[in-house]
Amino acid sequence: MTDTIAIGNAAPAKPAIARLFRAVRRNPLMFVGALILILMALTAIAAPLIAGDPVTMQPSRRLLPPSETFLFGTDHLGRDVFARTIYGARVSLIVGLSVSAVSVLIGMVLGLLAGYFRGLDAPIMRVMDGLMAIPSILLAIAMVALMGSSLGVVMLAIIIPEVPRVVRLVRSVTLSTRENQYVEAAVATGTRTGKILVRHILPSTIAPLIVQATYVCASAILVEASLSFLGAGMPPDVPTWGNMIASSRLYLGRAPWTIFCPALALGLVVLAVNLLGDGLRDRFDPRMARRM
C-alpha cells in the first residue's frame, strides 16, 4: 500500500516512511495518542481471542490479586478483571465513536442552517442555549431514568448535550465564511442555496469539526463511564469501566486492582483522544501551530 502511494506521488523526494517520521517528530504526543487508540481498538475487536470470559462468576476465586492466570486479578464475584477491562473498552469505544459521529453530523446541519438563514438563527440557538443550560450528567440521568438503560438510550442521552457545542462552532464558522466574496459571487450568479452551503461553506467547517469530533469523543467516553458509575448508564451486568468501578467501590481497600485497572484504562483512552485532538488542532489551526 505505502509503495503505491509513494510511486503515485510524482514528488521525487521523501518516501512515505520518512514523511511519517517527520510528522511524528513534529508532534510526537499526537502519535502517542493515536497509537494508544489503535492498540485499544485492536484489543477491543479481538477481545474474545485475548481475554477470557468476562461474565462468569466464581465465588471460589474472589478478590484474587493480579497473577499470571488473572493479569488484573479478580473482583468480588470472582470475575476476571482483565477480561472485563478488555470488554469494557468495546462499550467505551463504540459510545465514543458513534456519539461523536452523530453529534457532529446533527450539529453540522443545524449549525449551517443557523449560520446561513437569518430567520432560523434565533430559534435554533435559543433551543441550544436551553439544552446547554442543563448540566449534561443531569440531563442524561433524567433521560436514562425515564427511558430505561440500554446502549441506544445512553448514547442519545450523551448526544443531546453534545450537539449544541457543535452547532455553536459550525454556526460561527458559517457566519464568517458567508462574508467571503466567493459566496457573494455564487449568490449573485444564482447558484442554488443548497449548492452554496455544500460547496462553498461546508468545506471550511471540516477542519474545526474534525478537531471538535475528538473532543466530543473524549467527553462521550467520560460521560458514559460517569453514567455507568452512577447507576444510570448501561445495565449493571454489562462489563463497562464505569460499572466495574461502581461495583467494586466497597473493595477499594482490600482489592484496589478491581478499581484501578478499569480506571487506568479509562484515563488512558480519554488522554489518548485528547492528545490526538490537541495535535490535530495544532495541525489545522495555523495560528496555533507554534504554541509550544
Partner 1 sequence: MHQPERRSNQRRSGANCGDMPKAHRSGTGSCVCTYLGQSRRLASSRAGSTRPMFAYVVRRLISTFVVMVLVGVFVFLLLHFSPGDPATLIAGDNADAEQIESIRKGLGLDQPLLVQFMNWSLRVLQGDFGISVFTQAPVINLIVERLEPTVSLAVTTLLFAALVAVAIGVVSAWKAGSWIDQVFMGGAIVGFSLPVFVVGYVLIYIFSMQLKWLPVQGYTPIAEGVLPWAKGLILPTIALGTSYVALIARITRASMLEILSQDYMRTARAKGVSARGMLIGHALRNAGVPIVTIIGIGFAMLISGVVITETVFNLPGVGRLVVDSIAKRDYPVIQGAIIIFSGVYVLINLLIDVLYTLIDPRIRY
CA geometry: angle 203, 14, 42, nearest 5 deg: 65
Q: Site for partner 1 (CB under 8 A): which residue of 8, 59, 194, 253?
A: 253
Residues 6+ apart with CB under 8 A from 119: none
Return the residue matching grid coordinates 452523530. 102
Return the residue matching grid coordinates 489518548. 272
Interaction between residue 75 and partner 1 (CB under 8 A): no
Residues 6+ apart with CB under 8 A from 36: 268, 269, 271, 272
Measured from the CB of residue 2, what is the shortest distance to partner 1 in angstroms? 31
* Cα–Cα dist 157/162, whole Å: 9
Q: Which is nearer to partner 1, 98 or 274 (CB)?
A: 274
- Interface stretch with partner 1, choices 35-43, 60-68, 151-159, 275-283 (CB under 8 A): 275-283
Q: Site for partner 1 (CB under 8 A): which residue of 40, 124, 141, 183?
A: 141
Reference 137, options 217, 240, 219, 215; nearest CA is 219
Q: Site for partner 1 (CB under 8 A): which residue of 36, 137, 196, 202?
A: 137
Q: Site for partner 1 (CB under 8 A): which residue of 113, 215, 239, 255?
A: 215
The count of residues interacting with partner 1 (CB under 8 A) is 63
Interaction between residue 281 and partner 1 (CB under 8 A): yes
Interaction between residue 133 and partner 1 (CB under 8 A): yes
Report CA-CA distances (Å) from 4 to 7, 9, 10, 12, 17: 5, 8, 11, 13, 13
Signed CA dihedral, 156, 158, 163, 166: sign only: negative
Q: Site for partner 1 (CB under 8 A): which residue of 30, 110, 144, 157?
A: 144
* Cα–Cα dist 62/238, whole Å: 19
> For residue 49, what is its C-alpha cell?
481471542
- Judged by CB under 8 A, the chain residues 219 through 238 that form the site for partner 1 are 219, 222, 225-226, 229-232
Q: Site for partner 1 (CB under 8 A): which residue of 71, 97, 132, 156?
A: 132
Interaction between residue 66 and partner 1 (CB under 8 A): no
Write out the residues near partner 1 by the rule CB under 8 A.
125-127, 129-139, 141-146, 165, 168-169, 172, 175-176, 208, 211-212, 215, 218-219, 222, 225-226, 229-232, 245, 252-253, 256, 259-260, 263, 266-267, 270-271, 273-275, 277-278, 281, 285-290, 292
